[in-house]
Structure 1
Amino acid sequence: MMVGKDSLLVFFALIIVAIGCRKDPADMDSGGNSIEELVKDTAWSYARDIYLWYQHLPERLNLKSYTDPDALMKAVRSYSMEPGFSEPVDRWSFAMKKRDWDDVSQGVSGDFGLGIFFKSQNDLRVSYVEPASPAAAAGIQRSWRILSVNQNGNISTDEATIARIIDAFYNKVSVSVGFEKPDGSTINVTLHSARYVGDPVILDTVYHHNGNKIGYFVYNSFLGDVNEMKSRLADVFTGFSAEAITDLIVDLRYNGGGFVELQNELANYLVPAAEDGKVMLREEFNDKYSSLFDTTIFFQKKGLLDMSRIFFIITGNTASASELLINSLKPYMDVKLVGHASHGKPVGYFNIGVGDWYIFPVSFRSVNNNGEGNYFNGLQPDALVNDGLDKSWGDVNEDCLASVLQYIQDGVFRRVSTREQHDDLLDRGNSLLDVRRFKGAIERKGLLPGRHLQDKR
């Protein structure tokens, strides 16, 4: 069962007592950096109490050496020692200004609205386009090759070039981009950043393939207005049911996670009817609060789909709530994974208000009904296939999709070209390009002061 609001209010009351009485940073204004220092001090106190690995944190830390709560939360990461791992496992604890998080959590962006990744050395592609964004309005599509950025045709994976590209796409209000389309024609487009609400449902369609009806669903995020997103999911699965699909491919290759509540919703559409009422997942807190607030969530079957097998397309950008979805279904379905190993975030957090910031120290881990969940190295694919960045969404010749379709036809994953050797430069370049995209699993619980969330970054 899920933790109720009243129980969570008690939870945070206990945290406050454990931390001790502190003034609200908003009440303190004695000049200099006093407010900023108090915000960091309060953030540190919360971390020492609710951080999943709190026992490894030092009693004291020189808070003046950190510029803001985000820098502090990133420093906390270095104490996340987990049995079986030689390095700290936390890559996600962070802090964000409340006004910025309010936008992110509701799927509101203020950028150009496109993602970019390297297909190979010197071959930079559009990986996705947000439907309501300036990039979409300009007609830009996934698979277009980027030839120049602000009239500079140097497109490579060296760090200086990537830094220039990141600055142009993520730090500026306008950018001029030269593209090559799939037909070989070229076009120059000047984009201007604008606010828009993202739509994580990139594509839902049905393929009639050798007598099979195969649903294909590209889902890019578990963030956004929760009620609206639930309505979108209902529409998608009503359509799949009407088509009487025999198989389903869920494409999570760029889904960095979001609200666990939306993950639960999607899991309830996917789980077989016979598993209704069984354990979906468990959330486990640190030993200070585990006896009171460890949470068990059960499946509540939705919709008419009733399949014993499901396919997921994943990459290193598939994170948190997306991985939670896959892991939750594994005890009950034949789950096939195609692509590359996922990001590896089996932990989550909730937002805690401190002054005009929210802090997100990792505070719980998630496991499925088999107790599986320590996948800090990512979920491993059944078929290793590269992201077909040179193909549009839904193109049956796109490497990952083609591999799944081949398996559905004859039980063997299609052999497609993959990099024969690990390309560190390419992987590093793409990880840098993806650094701005949110990755998380946020619990929408009653938190201080007044926001309700759970997510990963």
Structure 2
Amino acid sequence: MQRYIKLYITLLPLMLIAASACKKPNVAVDEADEIISPTTGTRSQLTLDSIFLYAKQVYLWNDVLPGYAEFNPRQKYAGVGSDITTFRKELFDISQLKINPATGQPYELPVYFENPKYSNLQVGKNIPGSTAGVTKPNTAVLASTIIANANATVAYLALASFPSLNNSKAALDQVFSEFAAANPKVMVIDLRSNGGGYLETAEYVADLIVPASLNGKVMYSEVFNPSMQNGSAKILKHQPYLDANGKTTIYSGRMATMADVDYTIAGNTYKFNKKGNLQTIQAVYFIVSGNTASASEMLISSLKPYFEVKLIGEKTYGKPVGFFGINIDQYSVYLSSFLIQNANGWSDYFTGMPPDVAVKGTDNPVLGDPAESCLSAALQLINRTTKQSINLTGTTAKMITVKNDLSQPVAKESIMFENRLRLRKQ
């Protein structure tokens, strides 16, 4: 008969466990834990256990997960297929348990066959500071232009993704310095192919847009589940805490773990901190599509309480959740871990943000061209709103043609990745 222990699976040593029957390394028993799992099993069985047990404590909607014995991952997924197929099937089933009352369907209703809308599992280790799991190409700025005449000045910016800030800061600073010299009152930000990336980079863009008068105002908050907020997600002590550069940190005289992180709302509320010299923006118009997701939607949401915000194009993807990577054996698991809320507490765009002006753009637009259908619609809307005449000729633009099929669904590699989790104060 199998022995059971109150606790969890120690994950990093799994790399050393043989594929045949094995035994978990000894760990201290925490009597506060109520989760039980077998202490022996194959490498595959232990990984199945680990995926469920992490979800039980870390998953945003962990309130609907049954106990380990009821879920019984080893029996439930015996003979499903290859290891990776089996693990992804388990993650999918977990992701379908929480129902959105507004739609009567799971929050993670798949966009395509048995792939959760948000959570995902990848082969390879998650390393903070790497580009794993972040939208490609690894560039931020695709195109920028100033559209101007005597009555109105419009700054246009197309952003491909939000790669790490180290890889994007110089290009963003240069573009916004050029914008500041033109004193535009309106910005058009083209996010139609932007599936997200690092929140830190999207936040930096927001800080470049806003005036200094918004310094200290709430931009957005990351809201974890109650177990995470109150520090009872003990399983995270088996995930080492690494800083944004992938380095370990000393905490209370020992190596810090992810269980030492401050997951409270107060500890994960980000506020505006003005960057750059642009001070004149009063309204922001976003060009969007079904590929606009995650950190892109966070940028839109965070500006809504403070600016006139309009959307042009097609309904966005709908991804108000984010992740941090969890290493399980040779896999990285990205469980939906926190909800993004703006200063008004709004986060209800799970089915996407509808456009104010619906426009079906082309698959390969010339970005920054005022005659391009989506930008043209944005300029017409600005014209009606501001009652000013926009000159659609004589622009000073840096334009490129993007070879990107915008009709395709958002790639699963496109995630809202948080690499700035902070340790609790000692």
TM over 0.5: yes
CA pair 431-214 structure 1, distance change in 2 beyond 3 A: closer
Aligned to 1:359: 333
Alpha-carbon distance, 1:342 to partner: 0.8
Is it true that 1:76 corresponds to 2:94 in the alignment? yes
CA distance in 2, matches of 1:211, 1:432: 36
Could you list the runs of 5+ residues in structure 1 that have no partner in the other structure? 1-16, 109-196, 415-429, 448-457
User: Which consecutive residues of structure 2, in runs of 5 or more, have no partner in the other structure?
Assistant: 1-5, 22-40, 109-116, 231-261, 390-404
- Higher deviation after alignment, 54-63 or 353-362: 54-63
**CA-to-partner distance for each residue in 1:142-176, whole Å, 9 max, x for gaps?**
xxxxxxxxxxxxxxxxxxxxxxxxxxxxxxxxxxx
Contact 2:177 2:278 (C-alpha < 8 Å) held by counterparts: no
2:140 maps to which of 182, 200, 203: 200
What is the rounded CA distance, in whole Å, between the counterparts of 2:292 and 2:107 in structure 1?
A: 17
* 1:51 is aligned to 2:59: yes
Shift of 1:431: 8.9
What CA distance in whole angstroms lies between the structure 1 residues aligned with 2:348 and 2:102? Answer: 10
Work out the percentage of aligned pairs sharing the same amino acid: 30
TM-score when scaled to structure 1?
Answer: 0.66
- Distance across 1 between alignment mates of 2:282 and 2:410: 35
Q: Which residue of 2 aligns with 1:304?
A: 277
TM-score (norm 2): 0.70
Contact 1:272 1:333 (8 Å CA) reproduced:
no
- Answer yes or no: is the 8 Å Cα contact 1:350–1:445 preserved in 2: no
Match of 1:218 in 2: 158
Aligned ranges for residues 46-445 of structure 1 at < 5 Å? 46-59=54-67, 60=71, 61=73, 62-64=76-78, 65=80, 67-68=83-84, 69-90=87-108, 91-98=117-124, 102=130, 104-105=132-133, 198-209=138-149, 211-223=151-163, 225-291=164-230, 293=263, 294=265, 295-306=268-279, 307-389=281-363, 391-411=365-385, 433-436=408-411, 438-445=413-420
Contact 1:47 1:361 in 2 (8 A): yes
Supply the AA of the counterpart residue of 2:278: L
For residues 310 and 410 of structure 2, the distance between their equivalents in structure 1, rounded to whole angstroms, comes to 27
Distance 1:438 1:322, change over 3 A: same
CA distance in structure 2 between the aligned counterparts of 1:25 and 1:390, rounded to whole angstroms: 46
RMSD: 2.8
Choose which of 26, 36, 58 in structure 1 pairs with 2:44. 36
Name the CA distance, whole Å, in 1 between partners of 2:182 and 2:12.
59
Deviations 1:223-282 (A, max 9, x none): 2x4312122211211121123233211000111111111111111111232111111111
More relative contact order in 1 or in 2 (CA 8 Å, sep 6+)?
2
More helix by share: 1
SS of residue in 1 equivalent to 2:100: coil
Q: Cα distance, 1:391 vs. partner?
A: 4.0
Q: Check whether the contact 2:134–2:417 (CA below 8 A) recurs between aligned residues.
A: no
Letter in 1 for 2:165: V
Q: What secondary structure is seen at the aligned counterpart in 1 of 2:368?
A: coil
Structure 2 counterpart SS, 1:254: coil
Q: Residues 250 and 89 from structure 1, CA distance in 2 versus in 1: closer, same or farther, beyond 3 angstroms?
A: same
Distance 1:333 1:284 in 2: 23
| Distance (whole Å) between structure 2 residues aligned to residue 444 and residue 349 of structure 1 | 9
Give the partner amino acid of 1:258. Answer: G
SS at 1:310 equivalent? strand
Q: How many angstroms apart in 2 are the aligned matches of 1:106 and 1:256?
A: 9
Helix, strand or coil for the counterpart of 1:370?
coil
- Which residue of the partner structure matches residue 114 of structure 1? none
On the 8 A contact 1:272/1:308 being kept in 2, the answer is no
The DSSP-based 3-state class of the residue aligned with 1:215 is strand
Further displaced range: 40-49 or 357-366: 40-49
Residues 1:100 and 1:376: Cα distance change in structure 2 (over 3 Å): same
Q: Which moved more, 1:326-335 or 1:76-85?
A: 76-85
* Distance in structure 1 (CA, Å) of the matches to 2:407 and 2:385: 36
Give the aligned partner of residue 397 of structure 2: none
Asked if the contact 1:37–1:63 (Cα under 8 Å) also holds between the matched residues in 2, the reply is no
Of Structure 1 and Structure 2, which has the larger fraction of its residues in strand? 1
Separation of aligned partners in 1, 2:407 and 2:8: 37
SS of structure 2 residue aligned to 1:375: coil
Give the Cα separation in 2 of the matches to 1:80 and 1:232.
41
Between the aligned partners of 1:384 and 1:296, the Cα distance in structure 2 is 33
Between the two proteins, the alignment pairs up a number of residues equal to 327
| Residue aligned with 1:288, SS | helix
Structure 1 CA distance for aligned equivalents of residues 351 and 175 of structure 2: 32
Q: What letter is aligned with 2:15?
A: A
Distance 1:402 1:44 in 2: 49
Query: Structure 1 residues 35 and 395 mapped into 2: Cα distance closer, same or farther (>3 Å)?
Result: same
